[in-house]
């Protein structure tokens, strides 16, 4: 790994850290170390990094702002690429914007609403990056990324880059083609529309207030843990099963919203996984409903 780190630093790919705790880079504040963490300084820096990684035959994966992510206590073997500064550019053109994969979704929705541009109101409380939102088709309040995306610039595992149209992204509920054909969303082109600035800002504020009132963002958490097994809702099933507030170690099923698991201060990934297993088995036994996770679980066993 020392030799690989030196190679990465030599070609100036960006910030390169060894044995970096991923608890510093996830909204749950949980996760063991990555052998190497790279924070690319640009798309070109990321390309260089991927080329070196490919030549070294080391496993890698990308993360954004660390929401919707549970990293194991054993950390992640190989390289973790974190998109942030360096891939957070924003270009505006009439009702269309091109935005870097590392850009904050909350920040983007706030900026656009203040300019009277509609389409991102749903994203006002989603604490992820644009790239992560494209990866999992993030959504809320009756809309999602698929509704406004025109195309996405993707870097695939083999080092190739391609613009994919919204149709090619094969979006469905909280998924995209990137779950089957892994890649990094470098940039996204979003189609917005002009609207009444006051009404847009008012809608944004309503969405923010709703999240503050109903979701436990005052504690470290990853967002919704389970997919809604429609026509049922995961949170309601969990609450009806009497699991709201249940704790294992430092992890707790939120007393505010049962589809959230919070870190009360010293939770481990195993604590969270044990709670997830408890929910799955309880709901299956009580309601004969198979409930699946929305949070992505990664890392060494």
- Residues recognised as catalytic: 174, 224, 294
CB 133 within 8 A of CB 145: yes
Rounded Cα–Cα distance for residues 207 and 201 (Å): 10
The token pair at 117 is 């541009």
- One-character DSSP codes across 258-278: TT-EEE-SS--HHHHHHHHHH
The three-state secondary structure class of 77 is strand
- Buried/exposed 12-46: b ≥16 CB within 10 Å, e otherwise: ebbbbbeebbbbebbbbbbbbbbbbbbbbbbbebb
Residue 125 CB coordination number (10 Å):
20
Q: Which residue stretches of the chain are H helix?
A: 2-10, 43-56, 105-114, 130-136, 197-214, 234-240, 269-287
The three-state secondary structure class of 128 is coil
Rounded Cα–Cα distance for residues 154 and 135 (Å): 10
CB 245 within 8 A of CB 253: yes
CB 15 within 8 A of CB 9: no
CA-angle at 100, arms to 99 and 104, nearest 5°: 90
């Amino acid at each position: 790994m020392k030799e690989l780190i030196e190679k990465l630093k030599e070609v100036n790919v960006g910030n390169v850290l060894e044995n970096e705790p991923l608890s510093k880079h996830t909204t749950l504040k949980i996760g063991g170390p990555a052998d190497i963490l790279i924070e690319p300084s640009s798309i070109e820096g990321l390309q260089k990094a991927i080329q070196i990684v490919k030549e070294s035959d080391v496993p890698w994966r990308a993360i954004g702002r660390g929401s919707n992510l549970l990293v194991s206590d054993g950390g992640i073997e190989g390289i973790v690429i974190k998109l942030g500064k360096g891939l957070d550019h924003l270009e505006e053109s009439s009702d269309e914007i091109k935005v870097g994969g590392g850009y904050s979704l909350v920040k983007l929705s706030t900026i656009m609403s203040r300019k009277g541009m509609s389409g991102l109101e749903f994203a006002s409380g989603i604490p992820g990056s644009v790239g992560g939102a494209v990866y999992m088709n993030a959504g809320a309040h009756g809309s999602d990324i698929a509704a406004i995306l025109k195309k996405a610039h993707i870097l695939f595992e083999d080092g190739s880059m391609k613009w994919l149209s919204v149709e090619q992204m094969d979006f469905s509920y909280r998924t995209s083609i990137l779950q089957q054909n892994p890649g990094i969303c470098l940039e996204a082109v979003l189609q917005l529309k002009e609207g009444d600035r006051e009404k847009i800002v008012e809608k944004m504020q309503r969405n923010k207030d709703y999240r503050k009132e109903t979701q436990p963002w005052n504690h470290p958490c990853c967002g919704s843990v389970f997919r809604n097994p429609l026509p049922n809702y995961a949170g309601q099933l969990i609450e009806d099963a009497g699991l709201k507030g249940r704790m294992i170690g430092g992890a707790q099923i939120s007393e505010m919203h049962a589809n959230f698991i919070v870190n009360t201060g010293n939770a481990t990934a195993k604590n969270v996984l044990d709670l997830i297993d408890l929910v799955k088995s309880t709901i299956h036994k009580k309601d004969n409903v198979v409930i699946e996770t929305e949070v992505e679980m990664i890392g060494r066993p």
